[in-house]
Amino acid sequence: MSDMTFERMISQMTPAIYDSLKQAVSLRKWPDGRMLTAEQTELCLEAVIRYEIDNQVPEEQRVGYLEQRTCGGASSGTDVDPALAGLARDASSD
């Protein structure tokens, strides 16, 4: 067995390997179509996250990033009439 440690593997990971692992986690399968086990998914995700931190990948490009929006604010482009969104209904009468 090689003396390759997890940290050393991350430090030697290329952008192509990072992209491949990120896709594998997203699809839950390897490029050849074989399904990832739960353990493989966990290890791949950890490797992707560590790569992103070590290589200072911008937050909005990281795996799992969710854009924070305000509910119904004009800046979010989601101005919806509360009646149409079902928010104007009095739920206490149900």
d(CA 19, CA 89): 46
Q: Are 35 and 28 in contact (CB under 8 A)?
A: yes
Q: What tens digit of pLDDT does each residue of 39-74 get?
A: 999 999 999 999 998 988 888 888 877 787 766 555
94: in domain: no
Task: Concatenate the DSSP letters of all residues of 16-53 into one string.
Answer: HHHHHHHHHHHHTB-TTSPBPPHHHHHHHHHHHHHHHH
Structure tokens, 30? 């390897």
34: in domain: yes
44: in domain: yes
d(CA 71, CA 69): 6
Q: Any bridge partners for residue 35, and if so which?
A: 29
Could you tell me the residue range of the domain that residue 4 belongs to? 1-61
pLDDT at position 67, please?
80
Determine if the pTM surpasses 0.85.
Answer: no
d(CA 84, CA 94): 18
1: in domain: yes
**What percent of the chain shows pLDDT beyond 90?**
40
Q: What tens digit of pLDDT does each residue of 8-22 get?
A: 989 999 999 999 999
Residue 6 pLDDT greater than 50, yes or no:
yes
Q: What total number of domains does the chain contain? A: 1
pLDDT at position 1, please?
40
52: in domain: yes
Residue 47 CB neighbour total at 10 angstroms: 19
83: in domain: no
